[in-house]
């Protein structure tokens, strides 16, 4: 959902980075390990800064279940739509993150993406069924010809889905499916960078022919990395002074920034696919969801300009989770219904 107080012409759930409101640590903290070190960097505030997050304040968070479905059928099928021009290496990075979510016979070292998703799987529906722990990339569709142009509106994003379904690469998957639209760095999208970095909702039958949950995330690398790829880019007004941006774990500011937004949207889409399941607040047009509550927090001790204890490897690259094929990612924490607090697998307490 929007992490800022925006109400759009139709319901939509969106993500964009904002500042934390938790108490700040008194100084940068480090903990040396054999191959890397834990550290808690203080960074300049984000460009967009009206946060709904109440990290660590369970008495202020009224996250409730509203009797709607969660995505409990296994596996959850991800239908990827690559809109615009994407390189093979970019596609592989994003797919490696998605496949890292599911349990594996050869699990990634802890802290891992799969361990992070365990918190998402704690959410249940009214029958007691948990969100599935298994996500798979079921099919892919490349729209390298920009069939709906270089600028998309919120409605034309749904038309992109309709094109993919009608072109027959995708089935209509009401029960298990998530349609994930990813736009390349040269595609502008309504409210992108100004108000959102991604959003999720469900398709309108009048637009697509069916009601199906979907999410959109854009590559901000060329348009607004300081907004949507933070903390791998910092606001330009910092100039040469103040804290520097962190080095991305996979060497691509835009893509590494997208990973955390994709994680945010997948967590919220699976726990609130029809905007009537898990969220805080009384207004379903502007709900606060499990990612919103922990936005900007990546480790223990986050808040007040600190992102929390994360890991820095020998090359200076920053991450907090391990994935498949030796990949490393920096992914925001999410709200745990068990702890009634933000949680992540790299927690130090």
Q: Which pLDDT score, from 0 to 100, does residue 18 have?
A: 45
> What is d(CA 298, CA 280) in angstroms, rounded to the nearest whole number?
21
CB atoms within 10 A of CB 211: 12
**Whole-number Å distance between alpha carbons of 215 and 278:** 17
Tokens representing 292?
């919103």
pLDDT in tens, 143-169: 999 999 999 999 999 999 999 998 877
The pLDDT value recorded for residue 216 is 98
Are β-strands 76-83 and 318-319 bridged in parallel, bridged antiparallel, or unpaired? unpaired
pLDDT at 234 over 70: yes
pLDDT at 49 > cutoff 70: no
Q: Rounded to 10 degrees, what is the CA torsion of 42, 48, 49, 54? A: -90
pLDDT at res. 85: 97
Query: Model confidence at 46, in pLDDT bands (50, 70, 90)?
Result: low
Per mean pLDDT, which range of 2-11, 186-195, 237-246, 339-348 is the poorest?
Answer: 2-11
What confidence score (pLDDT) does residue 19 get?
A: 36
List Cβ neighbours of 100 (8 Å cut-off, separation of 6 or more): 108, 112, 113, 114, 323, 324, 327, 329
**What pLDDT is stored for residue 44 in this prediction?**
58
Q: pLDDT (tens digit, 9 = 90+) per residue, 54-104? A: 334 445 678 999 999 999 999 999 999 999 999 999 999 999 999 999 999
The C-alpha atoms of residue 163 and residue 97 are separated, in whole angstroms, by 26
Assess whether pLDDT exceeds 80 at residue 224.
Answer: yes
DSSP single-letter state for residue 47: S
Q: How confident is the model at residue 45 (pLDDT cuts 50, 70, 90)?
A: low
CA distances from 142 to 146, 150, 158, 160, 220 (A): 9, 15, 15, 11, 19
- Give the pLDDT of residue 121: 98
Contact 55, 302 (CB under 8 A): yes
Query: Global pTM?
Result: 0.88
Report whether pLDDT(239) > 80.
no
**DSSP H stretches of helix in 172-220:** 205-208
- Is the N-terminal amide bond of 111 cis, ω within 30° of 0? yes
What is the C-alpha to C-alpha distance for residues 301 and 307, in angstroms, rounded to an integer?
8
- Residue 336 pLDDT more than 80? yes
Contact 119, 332 (CB under 8 A): no
pLDDT, tens digit, for every residue of 194-204? 999 999 999 99
- Pick the residue with more confidence: 126 or 9? 126
The confidence score (pLDDT) of residue 297 equals 93
Q: Is the pLDDT of residue 220 over 80?
A: yes
Q: What angle do CA 258, 260, 264 make, to 5 degrees?
A: 115
The whole-number pLDDT of residue 26 equals: 30
Q: Is beta strand 328-329 parallel, antiparallel or unpaired with respect to 321-322?
A: antiparallel
Q: Does position 179 have pLDDT exceeding 50, yes or no?
A: yes
Q: Per residue in 288-311, pLDDT tens?
A: 999 999 999 999 998 877 899 999
Least confident of 29-38, 180-189, 264-273: 29-38
More confident residue, 100 or 46: 100
Residue-level pLDDT at 83: 98
DSSP alpha helices (H): ranges in 38-109?
88-100
Pair 192, 154: CB distance under 8 Å = no
DSSP 110-136: SSBHHHHHHHHTT-B-TT-PBPPS-EE
Mean pLDDT, residues 170-187 taken together: 93
Mean pLDDT, all residues of the chain? 85
How far is CA 249 from each of CA 139, 244, 314, 319, rounded to the nearest angstrom? Answer: 27, 15, 11, 6
Tell me the C-alpha to C-alpha distance, in Å, between residue 30 and each of 25, 143, 346: 12, 45, 14
Question: Does position 243 have pLDDT exceeding 70, yes or no?
Answer: no
């Amino acid at each position: 959902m929007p992490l800022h107080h925006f109400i759009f012409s139709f319901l939509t759930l969106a993500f964009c980075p904002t500042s934390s409101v938790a108490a700040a640590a008194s100084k940068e903290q480090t903990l040396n390990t054999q191959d890397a070190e834990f550290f808690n960097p203080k960074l300049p505030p984000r460009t967009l800064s009206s946060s709904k997050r109440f990290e660590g304040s369970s008495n202020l968070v009224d996250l409730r279940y509203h009797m709607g479905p969660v995505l409990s059928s296994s596996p959850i099928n991800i239908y990827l739509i690559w809109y615009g021009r994407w390189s093979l290496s970019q596609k592989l990075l994003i797919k490696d993150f998605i496949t890292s979510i599911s349990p594996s016979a050869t699990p990634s070292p802890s802290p891992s993406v799969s361990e992070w998703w365990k918190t998402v799987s704690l959410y249940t529906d009214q029958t007691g069924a948990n969100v599935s722990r298994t996500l798979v990339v079921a099919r892919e569709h490349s729209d390298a010809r920009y069939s709906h142009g270089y600028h998309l509106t919120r409605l034309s994003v749904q038309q992109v889905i309709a094109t993919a379904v009608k072109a027959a690469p995708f089935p209509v998957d009401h029960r298990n499916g998530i349609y994930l639209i990813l736009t390349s760095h040269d595609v502008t999208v309504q409210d992108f960078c100004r108000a959102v970095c991604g959003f999720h909702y469900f398709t309108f039958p009048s637009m697509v022919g069916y009601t199906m949950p979907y999410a959109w995330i854009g590559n901000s690398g060329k348009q607004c990395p300081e907004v949507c790829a933070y903390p791998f880019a910092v606001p330009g007004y910092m100039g040469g002074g103040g804290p520097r941006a962190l080095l991305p774990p996979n060497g691509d500011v835009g893509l590494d920034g997208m990973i955390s937004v994709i994680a945010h949207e997948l967590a919220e889409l699976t726990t609130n696919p029809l905007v009537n399941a898990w969220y805080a607040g009384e207004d379903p047009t502007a709900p606060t969801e499990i990612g919103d509550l922990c936005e900007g927090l990546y480790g223990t001790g986050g808040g007040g300009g600190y992102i929390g204890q994360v890991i820095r490897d020998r090359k200076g690259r920053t991450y907090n989770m391990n994935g498949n094929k030796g990949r490393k990612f920096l992914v925001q924490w999410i709200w745990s219904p068990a702890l009634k607090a933000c949680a992540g697998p790299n927690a130090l307490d």
